[in-house]
């Protein structure tokens, strides 16, 4: 692992285009570029409203952003505690394996600890073996008995208006 000077910081409004570029890069990595409908305007409405719906961390090396984490609060009724949901974690390919992802997760864990969160949760594509190995190395358990359920687009309206 390289000995990089990695700085983690909260994103600001001036980072909007950078955040959108990272989301685009992640969607390409995930093979879901065709699902990307995020725009700078839509991101501004949700990232920088009051209170913000989500937060973004940027990982910088030598003053250049090389990765990001997008997360929001959630809640566990079983724990009766707040939790964090990590929606996106992405590090540019040439910086993977150099501690950037670990630095982002560590910072997120510090936020979770300081806000009494009971857990941090996220999904990982079953075909992303390097990602799964990385997460397990960080102490994550990969839950085999849980599946993501999703209602989206017109199905939301159909259900709402039944």
Q: Which amino acids are annotated catalytic?
A: 135
Residue with tokens 């009766």: 80
Q: Which long-range contacts (CB under 8 A, 24 or more apart) does 14-20 make?
A: 15/56, 15/58, 15/65, 16/40, 16/43, 16/44, 16/47, 16/48, 18/58, 18/65, 19/43, 19/47, 19/56, 19/68, 19/70
- Helices and strands (H and E) in the chain: how many: 5, 5
Phi then psi for 103, rounded to 5 degrees?
-65, -40
Residue with tokens 């809640």: 75
């Amino acid at each position: 692992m390289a000995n990089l000077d990695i700085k983690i910081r909260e994103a600001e409004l001036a980072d909007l285009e950078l955040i959108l570029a990272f989301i685009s890069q992640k969607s390409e990595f995930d093979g879901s570029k065709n699902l990307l409908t995020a725009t700078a305007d839509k991101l501004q409405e949700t990232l920088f409203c009051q209170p913000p719906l989500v937060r973004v961390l940027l990982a910088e090396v030598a003053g250049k952003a090389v990765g990001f984490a997008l997360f929001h609060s959630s809640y566990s009724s079983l724990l009766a505690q707040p939790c964090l949901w990590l929606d996106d974690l992405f590090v540019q390919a040439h910086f993977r394996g150099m501690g950037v992802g670990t630095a982002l997760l560590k910072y997120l864990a510090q936020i979770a600890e300081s806000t009494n969160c009971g857990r941090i949760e996220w999904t990982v594509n079953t075909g992303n073996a390097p990602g799964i190995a990385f997460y397990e190395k960080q102490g994550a358990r990969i839950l085999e008995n849980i599946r993501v359920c999703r209602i989206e687009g017109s199905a939301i309206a159909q259900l709402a208006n039944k």
